Structure 1
Amino acid sequence: MIKLEGALYPWRFRLVLVLLALMSGAIAWRIIDLQVVDRDFLKEQGDARSMRHIPIPAHRGLITDRNGEPLAVSTPVITLWANGKELQAARDQWPRLAAALGQEPTTFAQRLEQNAGREFMYLVRGLTPEKGQSILDLKIPGVYSIEEFRRFYPAGEVTAHVVGFTDIDDRGREGMELAFDEWLAGVPGKRQVLKDRRGRLIKDVQVVKNAKAGKALALSIDLRLQYLAHRELRNAMQEFGAKAASLVMIDVKTGEILAMVNQPTYNPNNRRNLQPAAMRNRAMIDVFEPGSTVKPFSIAAALGTGRWKPESTVDTYPGSLQIGRYTIRDVSRGGVLNLTGILMKSSNVGISKIAFDIGAEPIYAVMQQAGLGQDTGLGFPGERVGNLPNYRVWKKAETATLAYGYGLSVTAVQLAHAYAVLANQGQNVPLSMVRLDNKPAPTQVIDREIAHTVLGMLQAVVEEPGGGGARAKVPGYHVGGKSGTARKAAVGSKGYVEHAYRSFFAGVAPIANPRIAVVVMIDEPSNGAYYGGLVSAPVFGKVMAGALRLMNIAPDDLPPAETQTADAKDGKGGRT
């Protein structure tokens, strides 16, 4: 006779029933809780699988010149992307899509095959809204769009080295775009949308967070002067067959950089065939020995010691000076020269003898205070400081070379800044690449009388016969400046490259009340001439003449009113 297990152990059966009842009750309570009491939980879970937040691109800040002319603007573009899985189901549409995108069908198909398992892949970025919409209108499954912004540079190659450019994601990569990236970059917004399980947009729900546009940036650059400098520098580079060239223009009163141009340059709007060498802002990145352009600062140091006066003389005959195994030479045979004559003749022998008398320390101090070989404080990406040597014990050769511009390295910006100090009555004003609303406080680094005296000597270099700067003259204005020619140091080895020179001209105008300092550097002119007075001085003269006119600066070298009246009566001054 067989007995049931439940009859032998009735309590076990009852226990199982109780457990089943408790489990059923728990499930029932959870269902009631989710559907009635805590309804938001399921709603949130459902939204998490259908609600999405997509970014709203932020408008990057406008970059302008000092007068409000646009240098970098953001324009809306369309970026097309695809769901690789969805596109697999529309293979017959691939040739049509490739043709619309302007891509080779076979290569395009291979790319889609490689990304078949991905839910996101870029098809093309930066299309115009019209072009992007025309492709979307094809209604090809799996093809979607994103609104973005692309940077456009109206001045193109003229301001490329200053403004720089952004990458495809609208992040600064060069120039002021990089230096002020956080300032210019906006804060993306956020939009809530409803999408189905395939990622297709069903409903645009709401804007959760508005995009915040980037801040505008007004540079110190004057686009009119930039175009002028660009044209003249390009013409000179072509005329003399030069390898490269740079020009820097500074407002001596405020320290604002009004123009900064380099050759060769590039078009930031089309960088497909961009050569890396063309991207360098040589005015800030390339360092060089400035040669005779620093002799005015050696003269200022001599005057500052009190041991030398403007009328003091030096015998430079026979135009050479032996220092150990080194020989210092002048271009001319020289003679007895005062301090102005030393600058006019650009006498290495004369300036060396002065340096031996006063020592290298005063010369070093003046050059350092004028900003040579020092940090400019501009914060420009990649800017180099150069080198102003300071020895514990100065040997005669080191003292002499410092005095006439060898053995130290500077940038074109530093050299222009140093001349701005001389022009500004010996006051050092910090440089700025951004337009200033208030004039910064200057620091007196060179005695006012000494600076005034040296400016008079620089005026003689340009205006007196035999000064070497005649090609830098500007009609109607008194101009002061100094040319320089320096041999190029060999890269990776000691010594200098044969027949390779840099030609300089640095100057200021108008002498009566200096407003502008300009430095021109032309690298390796090869068509015959290479002296700074022949190659760089004409560029300086043309750019300075145009700048003084554009800035409406009053002439300081006009004939007296009586002469003008007499000429008018004689018919010489009347209009034709």
Structure 2
Amino acid sequence: MKSQHRGVSSRQAPIAPPLHGGRFLFILLMMALVSAILIGRITLLQVIDRPFLQSQGDARTLRNETIPAHRGMITDRNGEPLAISTPVVTLWANPQELPDDAIQRIVLAQSLGMSLEAFEARVARYSEHEFMYLRRQMTPDAAQRILDLRTPGVYPQREYKRYYPAGEVAAQLLGVTNVDDVGQEGLELAYQPHLAGHPGQRRIIKDRRGRLVRELDVIRDAQPGGDLTLSIDQRLQYMAYRELRSAVAENEADGGVLVMMDARSGEVLAMANLPSYNPNNRAGLDPRGLRNQALVDVFEPGSVMKPLAMSAVLESEGFDRNTVVDTSPGWMRIDEYTIRDFRNYGELDLAGILEHSSNVGMSRLALQLGDTAIWEKYHQLGLGQAPGTGFPGEATGSLPAHVNWSRSERATLAYGYGLSVSAVQLASAYTALANDGVRLPPSLLRLAEPPQGTPAIQPKVANDLLNILETSVAAYTGGRRARVEGYRVGGKTGTVRKIGQQGYTTDAYRSVFAGIAPISDPRIVTVVMIDHPKAGEFYGGAVAAPVFSSVTGNALRLLDVPPDREVD
């Protein structure tokens, strides 16, 4: 029994000796030191470095985001929209956050309509940056389909895109904006400060994927741009463009211009140009279509100037409507030049000279006037001067200074050669005939009240010429195709040789017609110019006058102008 008891006792664990006092103290000191370091670090982060750390955290979540401003709308005189801004989405990316996964990149590239090679090349080009555009101005639905892929590093940006409901019909007048919604051409450029808004700013919180978490406050509200009301009547603009396009196609012409002005206010009711372009889709754009030829291009007007030159004749002593001029034998020699009529018209009174468009008759009248009489009249009618519409690049035309003029220069000026005008200048000059001698400046904006105008022709002379212009489109004249059923109209044709490398050509012309309607109480002045018709006919009475007839007839009916002539 004793041996068993001693065996059990021998297998028990030995008792550990007590810790030495110095070792225990060292452990306590180390624990206290670590605790002090932790407390000190916490104090440093929470107290001393708190503002810095908070700013760094906010910088990664808090953002000041630009609020895009809505560009002002452009409307016609009746409030119909001609240029509006629609919301779009631009997608951008941080190249450094884009995934390395090949499948994700392929899907993203395909969604953007890009090849993988093009996408990779673009990412590589911006690899050192934190921003690059993926695709500008997408529709919200299309952009959302790409955002739904949840590709890291891809973010949206809200913007506005300009849209033109009238398309090519008023393209050159309105102009266009660039991808950043800044005016580049036409009225968009001319009124950029007025149309452009002022962006706002808001403070927001975003998550690490750039998604909006919460909007905190608005720092500055966006201020939308101002609206612009034009003098254009969209109904007349569509109709004018349609008729002009039909005439250009029918006559195989290079282009054409039509300007219709309100005879009482000078407001431009329609301004059509060909060739044109679609401002909503500029792919394959013909650069010629960008030019607003009615305002920025000039041409020699030819015989349409004869009524204006005739006003200088009628205002001179010794001349009246009954004055007779012998135009035989149908040509005359001045200096080294020969001036010809279509045929020998013999003796003509002043109305007959305009009816038959006699160059000889106008030349003989001009040579009986003072050296500067016709020049001064043209100057009073605004020729050789800026129209003052504010349109970028508007032409002043050319009215040569009267310095040592030869007899031939005085003669040619009387029948529309030796000077150049724009279609708008010509229409403005004709408002003096329609408005008791007062010329009205052209306006592209709707006016609250008619302008004062500039007296340019004696009222009696203007009224006499207005009646003579009616006989110039009589059934037996070259301008007969300008007649409008139910209305008294008047006007003058013009057929002008174009200038080539070696002077005036013999196979290229401009066909022109300028007219007023109705004669009893003028409401509109219209100028039509068809450039280089090649289908056979080229006279103004055959090419431009029918366009005037169609456009003027439709316009008078749309404007509810009562007929002033019995229907034939």
State TM-score, norm by structure 2: 0.89
Distance in 2, matches of 1:433 and 1:208, equals: 38
**Using a 3 Å threshold, how does the CA distance of structure 1 residues 454 and 464 change in structure 2: closer, same or farther?**
farther
- Aligned equivalent of 2:519: 511
Q: 2:490 — aligned with what?
A: 480
2:343 aligned with 1:332? yes
Alpha-carbon contact 2:172-2:186 (below 8 Å) kept:
yes
Q: Which secondary structure state, in structure 2, belongs to the residue aligned with residue 497 of structure 1?
A: strand
SS across alignment from 1:322: strand
What is the SS of the residue equivalent to 2:525? strand
Amino acid at match of 2:488: H
Partner in structure 1 of residue 443 of structure 2: 432
Partner of 2:187: 176
Query: Which letter does structure 2 place at the counterpart of 1:193?
Result: I
CA shift in 2, pair 1:41/1:101, >3 Å: closer
Aligned partner of 2:25 in structure 1 is none
Matches within 5 A, 1:102-251: 102-194=113-205, 203-251=214-262
**1:487 aligned partner, one-letter code:** R
Separation in 1, partners of 2:235, 2:207: 55
Q: 518, 526, 534: which one pairs with 2:534?
A: 526
> Following superposition, which runs of at least 4 residues in structure 1 exceed 4 angstroms of deviation?
31-34, 38-50, 195-203
| 2:312 corresponds to 1:304 | no
- Corresponding residue for residue 499 of structure 2: 489
After TM superposition, give the deviation of residue 324 of structure 1 in Å.
2.1
1:538 is matched with which residue: 538, 541, 546? 546
Could you give the per-residue CA deviations for residues 157-186 of structure 1, whole angstroms, max 9, x where no partner exists?
111111111111001111111111111111
1:363-378 correspondence runs (5 A):
363-378=374-389
Q: CA deviation at 1:280?
A: 1.0
CA distances 1:207-264 after superposition (whole Å, capped 9, x unpaired): 2111111111111000110111111111111111100100000001111000000111
Higher mean alpha-carbon deviation, 509-518 vs 359-368, is at 359-368
CA displacement, residues 31-77 of structure 1 (integer Å, 9 cap, x when unaligned): 999947x9767755764565332211111111111011111111110
In structure 2, the partner of 1:554 is 562
Residue 95 (structure 1) aligned with residue 103 (structure 2): no
Q: What residue in structure 2 maps to residue 7 of structure 1?
A: none
1:468 aligns with 2:439: no
Instruction: Give the drift of 1:406.
Output: 0.5
Q: Give the stretch that moved more between structures: 133-142 or 302-311.
A: 302-311
2:163 is aligned with what amino acid? F
**Local SS of the residue matching 1:358:** coil
What CA RMSD, in Å, does the superposition of the two structures yield over aligned residues? 2.1
Q: Distance in 2 between matches of 1:63 and 1:360?
A: 47
- Segments of 5+ residues of structure 2 without an aligned counterpart are 1-39
- Helix, strand or coil: the match of 1:148? strand
Q: For 1:259, give the aligned amino acid.
A: A
Q: Is the 8 A contact 1:88 1:116 kept in 2?
A: no
Q: Which moved more, 1:390-399 or 1:311-320?
A: 390-399
Residues 115-166 of structure 1: per-residue CA shift (max 9 Å, x gap): 2221100000111101111110100000000000111111111111111111
| Preserved contact between residue 155 and residue 210 of structure 2 (Cα < 8 Å) | no
Is the alpha carbon distance of 1:52 and 1:260 closer, same or farther for their aligned partners in structure 2, counting shifts above 3 Å? Answer: same
- Partner of 1:459: helix, strand, or coil? helix
Partner of 1:268: 279
Instruction: Report sequence identity in percent.
Output: 52
Alpha-carbon distance in structure 1 between the residues aligned to 2:330 and 2:46: 102
**Aligned-partner residue type, residue 236 of structure 2:** L
Residue of structure 2 in register with 1:65 after alignment: 76
What's the secondary structure of 1:388's corresponding residue?
coil
Are the equivalent residues in 2 in contact too, given 1:34–1:41 (CA < 8 A)? no
8 Å CA contact 2:424–2:442 kept in 1: the answer is no
Greater mean deviation of Cα atoms: 40-49 or 161-170: 40-49
In the TM superposition, residue 423 of structure 1 has moved relative to its aligned partner by 0.6
- Which of 330, 355, 372 matches 2:366? 355
* Corresponding position of 2:305: 294
In structure 1, C-alpha distance between the alignment counterparts of 2:479 and 2:414, rounded to whole Å: 20
Q: Which runs of 5+ in 1 are unaligned?
A: 1-27, 565-576
Provide the secondary structure at the position in 1 that maps to 2:389. coil
SS of structure 2 residue aligned to 1:98: helix
Asked if structure 1 preserves the Cα contact closer than 8 Å seen for 2:70 and 2:225, the reply is yes
CA distance in 2 between counterparts of 1:373 and 1:82 reads: 54
Contact 2:61 2:207 in 1 (8 A): yes
Residues 481 and 506 in structure 1, CA contact (< 8 A), matched pair in contact too: yes
Asked if the contact 2:437–2:458 (Cα under 8 Å) also holds between the matched residues in 1, the reply is: yes
- SS state at 1:545 partner: helix
Match of 2:404 among 386, 393, 402: 393
Maintained 8 Å contact 1:149/1:170? yes
Q: How many residues align?
A: 527
Distance 1:371 1:88 in 2: 66
Post-superposition CA distance 1:511-564 (Å, at most 9, x none): 1111100000000000111000010000000000000000011111137xxxx9
Aligned-partner Cα distance in 1 for 2:446–2:248: 30
Report the 3-state secondary structure (helix = DSSP H, G, I; strand = E; otherwise coil) of the residue aligned with 1:488. strand
TM-superposed CA distance for 1:438, in Å, is 1.6
Residue in 2 aligned with 1:53?
A: 64
Aligned equivalent of 1:6:
none
Residue 89 (structure 2) aligned to one of 67, 73, 78 = 78
Relative to structure 1, the CA distance from residue 368 to residue 195 in structure 2 (aligned partners, 3 Å threshold; closer, same or farther) is: same
C-alpha separation between the residues in 1 aligned to 2:296 and 2:470?
30
Letter in 2 for 1:525: P
One-letter amino acid of the counterpart of residue 306, structure 2:
K
* Alignment check: 8 A CA contact 1:172 1:178 kept: yes
1:570: which partner in 2? none
TM-score (norm 1): 0.88
For 2:519, give the aligned amino acid: I
**Cα pair distance change 1:420/1:34, threshold 3 Å:** farther
* Letter paired with 1:343: L
Shift of 1:268: 0.6
Distance in 1, Cα, partners of 2:461 & 2:221: 59
Q: Deviations for 1:443-479, whole angstroms, at most 9, x for unmatched residues? A: 22211000001111111101252x3110000111111
Question: In structure 2, the residue corresponding to 1:540 is in which secondary structure?
Answer: helix
Q: 3-state DSSP class of the match of 2:372? A: helix
CA distance in 2, matches of 1:421, 1:300: 10
